[in-house]
A and B are shown apart, each in its own frame.
Chain A
Amino acid sequence: MKKVKIYITLRESVLDPQGQAVMDSLHNMSYEDVKDVRIGKYIELEMEDSKNLTNRIEEMCEKLLANTVIENYRYEIEEGVTQ
């Protein structure tokens, strides 16, 4: 088994109003050194290992998990718990 960790973030060109609101709040708390906040999603999959594992992950990201019009994704594959 593999554990797949997928990180989805808004593209650089897309405004992140949620991140902006959080940054304003951090500034109000006097964390003035924060220069940007981007909020994204983190998804964990447990998958059977296969030769085309990366292809399958990318396919799932492109089709459903991320909307590539506004989002970027990256992923890491780790050894999962042996069942």
Chain B
Amino acid sequence: MKTAVIVFPGSNCDTDMYCAIKEGLGEEVEYVWHDDSSLDGFDAVMIPGGFSYGDYLRSGAIARFSKIMPAVIQAANAGKPVLGVCNGFQILLEAGLLPGAMLRNKKLKFICKTVPLAVENAETLFTAGYKKGDIIQIPIAHGEGNYYCDEKTLEQLQEQNRIVFKYHGNNPNGSIDNIAGIINEKGNVLGMMPHPERAVDMLLGSDDGLKLFQSILQHWRESHAAVTT
């Protein structure tokens, strides 16, 4: 599996994401600069966290119109796994690949700590390695992670089982329905505020995020085997 990590000016979790795949997963990975326009040859796309374009105007608003984004949208439409973490999630929302928007954290504080998440849907290609109801320890680091959508969208997300992760116990940022991560209707685009790439080795305090990357790899192996045999 060959994975692209998109790098925008202001991305700062790109190296974490790269290492999670290279060393945590042991798979091929390359950085792709925001000014490139092709993702040909990649099997999965990661949009890492950070402060793309300094969070000017709104988080993710300017990155959404960078040159690489049509290729990201194309990969998403082609059914390739696309994962947006933190600022990556915000970019996916701005791009309309996922519904809703981000508001400032309810208490206006930038929060940087490890929080418990509940796995709400373990039937996605990103979460097949978990069990529904698993409580995992994953770090968050954001000032604008207060997920918002209108009631109709929320009902849709709930009915279609598209809320993949919820904050367990304490809701750190005020997000609607404790949402920490959601997936698109097709099931191949996941956006989440917590950072699984920062939890892939016990040296980092938790390796609960590794299963997410292993799940993507497992999915790729299965679909790849199905094509080649």
- Taking Cβ atoms with an 8 Å cutoff, the residues of A that contact B are 10, 13-15, 17-18, 21, 41, 64-65, 67, 69-70
Q: Find B61's partner among A14, A15, A18, A64 (CB 8 Å cutoff).
A: A64
Q: Which residue of A lies closest to B102 (CB)?
A: A70
B59 to chain A, nearest CB (A): 10
Known: A15-B103, A17-B105. A69 touches B149 (CB 8 A): yes
Structural contact, A17 and B108, CB atoms closer than 8 A = yes
Structural contact, A17 and B104, CB atoms closer than 8 A = yes
Q: Which residue of B lies closest to A70 (CB)?
A: B101
Provide the residues of chain A in CB contact with B58, threshold 8 Å: 67
Structural contact, A17 and B107, CB atoms closer than 8 A = yes
Structural contact, B108 and A67, CB atoms closer than 8 A = no
B28 to chain A, nearest CB (A): 35
Structural contact, A17 and B103, CB atoms closer than 8 A = yes
Q: Which residue of A lies closest to B65 (CB)?
A: A64
The B48-103 residues at the A interface (CB cut-off 8 A) are 57-58, 61-62, 65, 93-94, 99-101, 103
Provide the residues of chain B in CB contact with A21, threshold 8 Å: 108
Q: 6 A–B contact pairs at CB < 8 A?
A: A15-B103, A17-B105, A18-B104, A18-B108, A67-B61, A67-B94
Provide the residues of chain A in CB contact with B150, threshold 8 Å: 13, 69
Asked if B148 is at the interface of the complex by the 8 Å CB criterion, the answer is: yes
Asked if B22 is at the interface of the complex by the 8 Å CB criterion, the answer is: no
Asked if B224 is at the interface of the complex by the 8 Å CB criterion, the answer is: no
Q: A21-B108, A69-B99, A69-B149 are in contact. List 16 more A-B contacts (CB 8 A).
A: A13-B150, A14-B103, A14-B148, A15-B103, A15-B106, A15-B174, A17-B103, A17-B108, A17-B146, A64-B61, A64-B65, A67-B101, A69-B100, A69-B148, A69-B150, A70-B103
Provide the residues of chain B in CB contact with A10, threshold 8 Å: 103
The B159-175 residues at the A interface (CB cut-off 8 A) are 174
Distance A14 CA – B102 CA, assembled complex (angstroms): 11
Interface centre among B65, B103, B149, B174 (most CB of A within 10 A): B103
Provide the residues of chain B in CB contact with A14, threshold 8 Å: 103, 148
Distance A17 CA – B107 CA, assembled complex (angstroms): 7
Q: Find B101's partner among A15, A18, A64, A69 (CB 8 Å cutoff).
A: A69
Distance A14 CA – B176 CA, assembled complex (angstroms): 11
Distance A14 CA – B103 CA, assembled complex (angstroms): 9
Distance A15 CA – B108 CA, assembled complex (angstroms): 12
Provide the residues of chain B in CB contact with A64, threshold 8 Å: 57, 61-62, 65
Provide the residues of chain A in CB contact with B94, threshold 8 Å: 67
Distance A17 CA – B99 CA, assembled complex (angstroms): 22
B229 to chain A, nearest CB (A): 44
